[in-house]
Chain A
């Protein structure tokens, strides 16, 4: 069964440093997402990406965050100048369709980001 692959599985970074989280979505999927989950809490939407541009973003996704699809397979989330409160599990997800016709996301296994 096709998978969404995320690397690294765990990243520890110093406060103020930049991190890049990487994802390889399912190859024929067209919509890509980043979500985060602070330990024990709900899954929170960050951003959706379609046709090489951001289609929606949440209030969490401020100027500190950016996304990119640098080639035909990778989808990255960059967090500039990390803060302690950025510590969370970051999930990448993809879907073939979007909006009301979304037939469910496939999530990756996540990157646990720890900011110290």
Chain B
């Protein structure tokens, strides 16, 4: 049972434009969400997080939006850069499960120079 879903396996964006990566979840108990970035042959690297008390969190070029009613979050990267090309995973956890995160299947982003 996939509790966190990323329905777009891949995305291509022109350099300088906005990249929007989407993530949906089914468990209403999830209250903390993260985005990770993964390069080939490396472990995931933390990118940005958001808790359920917020609907937006911004860090430089990266902004995460959370829509609790729709159980949907998105990651916006603007402007996109070629170095952003990687696989992006969203992950969710519930307070009562400690730090047990459940991951989406990932979206492979390609930023075209």
A binds B: no
Residues of A within 8 A of B (CB): none
Residues of B within 8 A of A (CB): none
